[in-house]
Amino acid sequence: MSVIRTGFVSHPDQERHDTGPGHPERAARHRAIVERVHESGLAAELELCAAVPIALAQLEPVHDARHARALQAAIEGGARLVDDGDTRVSAGSWRAALLAAGGAVLAAERVAAGAWSNAFVAARPPGHHAERGRAQGFCVLNNVALAAAHLRTQLGLERVAIVDWDVHHGNGTQAIFAADPTVYYASLHQWPLYPGSGLAEERGVGPGLGATRNCPLAPGSGDREWLAALEAAVLPDLERFAPEFLLVSAGYDAHRDDPLGGTALSTAGFGRLTRLLVDFARSRCGGRLVLVLEGGYDLGALAAGVEASIAELRAG
């Protein structure tokens, strides 16, 4: 039996992204995850790795170059808000965003090369609301989309799949790949809820028609409903798509204790979601699986959910 090597990617400079008093997407989120990994004993079983900033040229397959330059200039010039009233930034936010995206790319590279079996990326700021030319919804750069694009354009993979289980629909990721038949995107999310997209009839456009799947779930839905959606809708799609690599936008704000969501997933539910995708990846794409952090705003629920997911990654 092969040894499971699970990578854990983080960087303390992601905590320099200062969103100010009272903002739910705060530095304590990153600290809570790192502390739980160490206090639980998981750190001894993981290959810990510091994220490296993504190169500016690597942003171009996903983000318009003029937008990226303007975003960098705004942040480094002292902006406190970018593009919407929710996405607060500080002097350290541009480096943090480059580290979050670079960490996702690094993990994808190492898993694709076989150095790791799978990985968890404690990315901050999150990414799945960021569009090609717009930062929004607490997100600056689209971390998981950049990892997917890197796998396709730089590492030569033909089919990459993204499963998003954040309580909010990943409108940015969907828009970036809506017309791309080589990247499958599936989202489990509460509806109605910000950002208002993610209806079941949204299935992609043009050549990408059919490579998008949305599973909107009613407020109050819990483990049973979320697991059923993954098993009944997403996994059969993944079987047909036959990805070579699986990425997960892993949000933990569907937890019943989260202040921004209205669904009722348990900590064990996140473990079971992870287990289903670990099993799929092992049987269909050589185990190649990377989880990239998105939301999750109750610190205890976030840390516990991440611990549950990493335990499943380690179990292989």
Is residue 11 flagged as an active site residue?
no
d(C-alpha 148, C-alpha 151), whole Å: 5
d(C-alpha 170, C-alpha 8), whole Å: 23
How does 132-170 read in b/e, with b if 16+ C-beta sit within 10 Å? eebbbbbbbbbbbbbbbbbbbeeeebebbbbbbbbbbbb
d(C-alpha 35, C-alpha 28), whole Å: 10
Dig out the tokens for 136 from the structure: 């929004």
257 neighbors 266 (Cβ within 8 angstroms) = no
**Element at 223 (helix H, strand E):** helix 223-229
Instruction: Evaluate the omega torsion of the peptide bond into residue 195 and state whether it is cis, within 30 degrees of 0.
Output: yes
Q: Which of 129, 150, 169, 189 is catalytic?
A: 129
Of the candidates 125, 133, 164, which has an alpha carbon nearest to the alpha carbon of residue 148?
164
d(C-alpha 114, C-alpha 102), whole Å: 18
Length of the chain: 316
**DSSP secondary structure letter of residue 280:** H
Dig out the tokens for 64 from the structure: 């318009």
**Catalytic residue ranges:** 129
